[in-house]
Amino acid sequence: MDISRNTVDKISKSVVNFHNKLLQFRKCQILRDHAVITEDLWVRNGKIVDPEKVFFDEKITADVQIDCKGALVAPGFIDLQINGGFGIDFSYNNHDVEAGVQKVAKGLLAHGVTAFCPTLVTSPPYVYLKQVLPLLKIRPGGPEGAAILGAHLEGPFINVNKKGAHPAQYIQDMDRGLDSLQDVYGSIENVRIVTLAPELNNAVDIIEELTKRGITVSLGHSLADLSEGERGIQHGATLITHLFNAMPAFHHRDPGLVGLLGSDLINDGHSVFYGIISDGIHTHPAALRIAHSTHPDGLVLVTDAISALGLEEGTHQLGQLAIEVKGGRALVAGTETLCGSIANMNQCIQFFMKAVSCSVVTALEAATLHPAQAVGIHDRKGTLSFGADADFVFLGEDLKVWSTWIAGECVYQDTESPHPTLRLI
């Protein structure tokens, strides 16, 4: 029975009916273990299944076979820094927050994103305490939208001299230690990442405490020198927020946070990941090549997308600031200050692969495995290893998203894809 590309619901309903069944995706090109291999993909109960155990232990065959016609199957994309999209800004509360998050989660499926961290820029305390954080609950993905991994709180504990598009009047210090954070954030139950400047008072103690609580600490919007950045890494920070942006330019005598990519700490076993915006605006192709050549295993593609993602050029909102989008650039209205991108993750992957002249595997792992590793979920996300969540995308030769799957269920299909349709055998 053929399943038409023009009837997404037919695929979705078919797979829903097979929820507890053993699915065999045949004739796939699978990204697994840092290589693209020709192998079938087996799924059951929302997880990737080891077929050897099926054959030799259970002695059964698949309930459903799906002919993939040689399509490339990669883990679902993960975006650790996205401020909104499709007219919704997570930090600006002129809308129903829960409905707004849902709209973005749904819209991201078309771009291959199966999990993301809603990101809040520096805001007044009431935004965190009452209007946003209580509603940004961690939840699994599905037909209603991509999974929410937890909030990314980008500020307000940053350096005012590297504020970028963050409103200066709401930037805070950390003079009271963890109490400073609790006064602003309240509960951090639904928080996955906190971006802070490591040169601020009490930063080391706060990094240690957040890390103990399972929160990834990212260094950014900072004037830190290399030693201050290294001290943050030594005490638990593992991520750098949008490398090159909102930090001092590289200097050969003190390379600052950028220097962490070549720090001896990496050789000593410390993890250093760095988000980078490969939208063709925020980071020059030469800078992308330098970062990738220096520390390829830590590179994490992020969109840093704002509410204008998916919309026409014009005036939009980022937190408390008005944003003007023109010529493919998002600027604080009336200035030349960049304030996030309007690129989707699929576009960032495509631009990165072309700019760096890297392999498909390298480009895709920067949006799948690496972000999962950066926040410690690589045992179940960002991979197609056995036992992992069955979140994956079917991609065309140009890495265009053909379809998006969460927990083994088709949640999006491109109706204009040039690729052959899936076929139930």
Convert the pLDDT of each residue in 206-216 to its tens digit: 999 999 999 99
Angle between helices 226-234 and 203-212 (to 10 degrees): 30
Query: pLDDT, tens digit, for every residue of 160-193?
Result: 999 988 989 999 999 999 999 989 998 888 899 9
The residue assigned the tokens 């994956």 is 392
245 is annotated as contributing to ligand binding: yes
- Whether residue 176 contacts residue 142, with contact meaning beta carbons closer than 8 Å, is answered with no
Sorting pLDDT into bands at 50, 70 and 90, what band is 389?
very high
| CATH superfamily of the 77-374 domain | Metal-dependent hydrolases (3.20.20.140)
Total residue count of the chain as it appears in this document = 425
Sorting pLDDT into bands at 50, 70 and 90, what band is 56?
confident
253 is annotated as contributing to ligand binding: yes
End-to-end CA distance of the chain: 7
Sorting pLDDT into bands at 50, 70 and 90, what band is 415?
confident
The gap from C-alpha 284 to its chain's centroid, in whole angstroms, comes to 20
- Whether residue 405 contacts residue 76, with contact meaning beta carbons closer than 8 Å, is answered with yes
Query: pLDDT, tens digit, for every residue of 70-121?
Result: 889 999 999 999 999 988 888 876 567 788 899 999 999 999 999 999 999 9
CA distances from 110 to 33, 41, 204 (A): 25, 22, 40
236 is annotated as contributing to ligand binding: no
Task: Provide the edge-to-edge strand list for the sheet that holds 329-332.
Answer: 314-318, 321-326, 329-332
Residue 54 DSSP label: I
34 is annotated as contributing to ligand binding: no
The Cα–Cα gap between 270 and 295 comes to 13
* pLDDT exceeds cutoff 50 at 8: no
**What's the pLDDT at 12?**
43
Per the prediction, the chain carries an average pLDDT of: 88
Q: What is the mean pLDDT of residues 368-392?
A: 97
Higher pLDDT, 375 or 67: 375
* pLDDT exceeds cutoff 70 at 13: no
From-to residues of CATH 2.30.40.10 in the chain: 8-75+383-424
Torsion of CA 192, 196, 200, 201, to 10 degrees: -10
Question: Nearest CA to 118 among 149, 75, 93?
Answer: 149
Cβ neighbourhood burial of 264 (10 Å; 0-12, 13-18, 19+):
exposed
Q: What is the mean pLDDT of residues 266-278?
A: 94
Query: pLDDT, tens digit, for every residue of 297-334?
Result: 999 999 999 888 877 777 776 667 777 887 777 777 77
The gap from C-alpha 151 to its chain's centroid, in whole angstroms, comes to 11
**What's the pLDDT at 420?**
46
Q: Report residue 26: phi and psi, to 5°.
A: -95, 155
**What's the pLDDT at 347?**
94
3-state secondary structure at position 176: coil
370 is annotated as contributing to ligand binding: no
**What's the pLDDT at 61?**
83
Q: What percent of the chain has pLDDT over 90?
A: 65
CATH number for the segment(s) 8-75+383-424: 2.30.40.10
From-to residues of CATH 3.20.20.140 in the chain: 77-374
Q: What percent of the chain has pLDDT over 70?
A: 90
95 is annotated as contributing to ligand binding: no
Task: Provide the 10 A C-beta neighbour count for residue 357.
Answer: 10
The Cα–Cα gap between 288 and 124 comes to 34
The Cα–Cα gap between 395 and 419 comes to 9
Answer yes or no: 304 catalytic: yes
Query: pLDDT, tens digit, for every residue of 232-244?
Result: 999 999 999 999 9
Q: Kindly give, in sequence order, each residue whose CB lies less than 8 Å from that of residue 374, ignoring residues fewer than 6 positions away.
A: 80, 216, 238, 239, 271, 273, 300
The gap from C-alpha 61 to its chain's centroid, in whole angstroms, comes to 36
**Given 225, 279, 304, 391, the catalytic residue:** 304
